[in-house]
Amino acid sequence: MKLTEKEIEIVELLEKNARLPMDTIAKMVSLSISEVEQIIKKLEEAKVIVQYATIVDWRKVDGHEGVTAMIDVKVTPKRGVGFDEVAERIYRFPEVKSVYLMSGAYDLSVVIEGRSMSEIAHFVSEKLSTLDSVISTTTHFILKKYKHDGTVFEQGDQDRRIVVAP
């Protein structure tokens, strides 16, 4: 699907801040509000805009700090369906946040979130490694999130500029 320059600008603005008011977007890209609404509707229908989500720093919520792990998975691809079938079997689990097919030393990269390390250990040993096509898994626990999907979590972004300058 080929997008115009303005359509791309709108998507980029929403990608940074999905709650930007329509009239602000309209002004920023020099279109009318209804034109912007039409474009967004079109992009939603075409699934270019898939979903509007919120980046949450769960570490700040007591009892919900959670644990995230990235698991490198080696699998045996199946004739006819390649990696797709096993990937689907993995991403159907709700605790799995993302699944990517990778080049290099392993095949699938699985990101999983759980309440505790033991919960994730349970998932790996009971659900993931017991799948027929899975040959091996290597689990890496995330210790701290500095930047996620382009957003820096702790930002000391005060304006250091002098108040009035020529």
Partner 1 sequence: MQKTKSYVSDTVSRMKPSGIRRFFDLAASMEGVISLGVGEPDFVTPWGVREACILSLEQGYTSYTANAGLLELRKEISDYLVRRFRVSYDPTDELIVTVGASQALDISLRAILNPGDEVIVVEPSFVSYAPLVSLAGGVPIPIQTSGTHQFKLQPGQIEQVVTPKTKALIICSPNNPTGTVLNAEELAQIARIVAKYDLLVISDEIYAELCYDEQYTSFPAITHMRERTILINGFSKGFAMTGWRLGFIAAPKNLATAMLKIHQYTMMCAPTMAQYAAIEALRNGADDVEQMKKSYRQRRNFFVQSLNELGLSCHMPGGAFYAFPSIQSTGMTSEQFAERLLLEEKVAVVPGNVFGASGEGYIRCSYASSLEQLQEAIRRMKRFVERL
State the Cα–Cα distance between residues 26 and 94, nearest whole angstrom.
37
DSSP assignment, residue 110? E
State the Cα–Cα distance between residues 131 and 109, nearest whole angstrom.
15
If binding is defined by CB under 8 A, does position 4 make contact with partner 1? no
If binding is defined by CB under 8 A, does position 162 make contact with partner 1? yes
Shortest Cβ 165–partner 1 spacing (Å): 4
State the Cα–Cα distance between residues 50 and 98, nearest whole angstrom.
15
If binding is defined by CB under 8 A, does position 53 make contact with partner 1? no
Residue 37 or 85 with smaller CB distance to partner 1: 37
If binding is defined by CB under 8 A, does position 165 make contact with partner 1? yes
State the Cα–Cα distance between residues 128 and 125, nearest whole angstrom.
6
For residues 146 and 152, is the Cβ–Cβ distance under 8 A?
yes
Residue 60 or 161 with smaller CB distance to partner 1: 161
If binding is defined by CB under 8 A, does position 35 make contact with partner 1? no
Strand partners of residue 113 = 68
In the shown chain, the binding pattern of residues 105 to 144 toward partner 1, with x for contact by CB under 8 A and - for none, equals ----------------------------------------
If binding is defined by CB under 8 A, does position 29 make contact with partner 1? yes
For residues 110 and 80, is the Cβ–Cβ distance under 8 A?
no
Footprint on this chain of partner 1 (rule: CB under 8 A): 9, 13, 20, 24, 27-30, 159, 161-166
